[in-house]
Amino acid sequence: MTPVLEMHGIRKAFPGVVALDGVDLTLHRGEVHMLLGENGAGKSTLMKILSGAYRKDQGRIVVDGKDVEIQSPRDALALGIRVIYQELNLIPHLSVAENIFLGAAPTHRFGVIDWRRLSAATSQLLTDLGMNLSPDTPLGQLSLAQRQMVEIAKALKGQASILVMDEPTSALTSREVDQLFALIARLTERGVAIVYITHRLDEVYRIGQRVSVLRDGRRVTTQPLSDVTVAELVRLMANREVGDHFPKQRTTPGKELLRVEGLGRRGALSDISFCLRAGEVVGIAGLLGAGRSELARVIAGADRSDSGTIQCDGQATNFRTPADAIRRGIGLLPEDRKAEGLVAGLTVARNTALPHGRRLARSGFLPRGCEERLAEPIVKDLRVKATPTQEVRLLSGGNQQKVVLGKWLAGDAHIFIFDEPTRGVDVGAKIEIYNLMNRLTASGAGIIMISSELPELLGMSDRILVMCRGRIRAEFSAADATQERVLSAALGLAS
């Protein structure tokens, strides 16, 4: 049987980087093909070439045995290629049906929408896909997983033969993940070929048949998953043996750095109390919407609290702005680094120097090269794959995260808030981040770590606080914490 897609010798270069250097990929009807690789390995670039977002420099693309030129997203759509990105492109005020058929709704004469046919067509499509959704529900009332289903339904209307999913489960609960995987199984039965990009290795074996690993713009391997172990995959991606996933080094807790008492913010947080000592990692667990990021933002001065107090180094504080918190030595690595962590159009050095303008400047003027001199050792130390004069938008996700870290390392921060520090970051970079956390605690800093990955939280924390609906439900020492106990507290069950 001819493969539904063959990509041969795909090459793509950007100024200063060869993103793809002769990559091949073959896709069969009805298979789930896992695409793995570190950040910056070339996965996204390859998929953007397939979807018409980028144009390849060299190589051939064959769809259903015919050579094709994909010049634009339109060409890709016409060939039955669909991509579901991490960020959903839906309109909350419109109904499920309107979203699915946006711009393609059945009409009467003169372009008036035929609501009856629209509703019928949507029901038909949703039933076909085994989705239990009503066409008339406003999208805004749906959960994230349901919205993702709508996005998939939208992608699959018309003739879709290839579906690319980029980390579809990163924001889903485990039950929602089950629903998604059931849907994927139904799609493959209908002959749809799926390219699935993920950093979660457990998912790879649950749904995948074959796997391709990219590294530094080249394909390292393609093989059936039955022939390859997790350890081998990790080694192929990182090209270095990963012994211990969590290289945690414990330090004896020192003096108290941060004390939070009865902190509250209407609709988000109530009665939060805890403390953080020097040398300690305090993990914060909880489901989406439990108030973890809200807590991080209040401590970092990004949002105001309604009640309660925050003490830094034994002194009462009142953060009105992020600048107040930074002055007290607090550094936030926000959950969404593109939206809150970095200015994409500025260089690595200028991003690094952004919080330190006042210190670097001589009566308002920045001495020539002062930002580069500040960033240079940090870029080297964190092994950011970039020069200080490169624009941040050209960096991969893992390297961008390092730049956000570098912003605070360039100052005198000693209370760090890591909000999902390893989300969308590859295995190798994850370990670098863990080692860095060790270095920080060894030097007397304290870390608050928010993470949705329980193994990471259990592996790296000295203590774990579990949040549920804006409150702290439970606290565990590293020795007492198990995935089951943390999870049941996060779900609000009695432990």
Partner 1 sequence: MRARRFGTVIGLGVLCAVLWALTPHFLTVSNLLNVAQQTSINAIVAVGMTFVIVSGGIDLSVGSIVALSGVVLGALLQGGQPLAVALAAALAVGLGCGLLNGALVSVGGLPPFIATLGMMSVARGAALVFTEGRPVSGFDEGFRSLATGAIGFVPAPVVVMIGVYMAAHVVLTRTTFGRYVYAIGGNEEATRLSGVAVRFHKTAIYGVSGVMSAIAAIVLTARLNSAQPIAGTMYELDAIAATVIGGTSLMGGEGTLAGTLVGALIMGVLRNGLNLLGVSSFLQQIVIGGVIVGAVLVDTVLKRHRV
- Smaller CB distance to partner 1: residue 294 or 462? 294
User: Which span (357-365, 372-380, 422-430, 468-476) binds partner 1, by CB under 8 A?
Assistant: 357-365
Q: Does 407 bind partner 1 (CB under 8 A)?
A: yes
Q: Does 369 bind partner 1 (CB under 8 A)?
A: no
Q: Are 392 and 342 in contact (CB under 8 A)?
A: yes
Q: Does 340 bind partner 1 (CB under 8 A)?
A: yes
Q: Does 397 bind partner 1 (CB under 8 A)?
A: no
User: Which span (138-146, 157-165, 333-341, 458-466) binds partner 1, by CB under 8 A?
Assistant: 333-341
User: Which span (148-156, 170-178, 349-357, 486-494) binds partner 1, by CB under 8 A?
Assistant: 349-357
Q: Are 297 and 303 in contact (CB under 8 A)?
A: yes
Q: Are 28 and 1 in contact (CB under 8 A)?
A: yes
Hey, what are 181's tokens?
């995987």
What is the spatial distance between Cα 150 and Cα 94, in angstroms, rounded to a whole number?
12
Interface pick for partner 1 out of 326, 379, 433, 445 (rule CB under 8 A)? 326
- Smaller CB distance to partner 1: residue 334 or 424? 334
Please report how close the Cβ of residue 297 comes to partner 1 at its closest, in angstroms: 9
User: Which span (265-273, 327-335, 455-463, 467-475) binds partner 1, by CB under 8 A?
Assistant: 327-335
Interface pick for partner 1 out of 244, 365, 479, 494 (rule CB under 8 A)? 365
Phi first, then psi: give them for residue 255, nearest 5 degrees.
-70, 160
User: Which span (69-77, 121-129, 272-280, 320-328) binds partner 1, by CB under 8 A?
Assistant: 320-328
Q: Does 487 bind partner 1 (CB under 8 A)?
A: no
User: What residues contact 125, with CB distance under 8 A and at least 6 apart?
Assistant: 100, 153, 156, 157
Hey, what are 338's tokens?
């593109």
Interface pick for partner 1 out of 40, 80, 329, 334 (rule CB under 8 A)? 334
Q: Does 54 bind partner 1 (CB under 8 A)?
A: yes
Q: Does 342 bind partner 1 (CB under 8 A)?
A: yes
Interface residues with partner 1 (CB under 8 A) are 14, 54, 300, 302, 321-323, 325-327, 332, 334, 339-346, 350, 353-355, 357-358, 360-361, 364-366, 368, 407
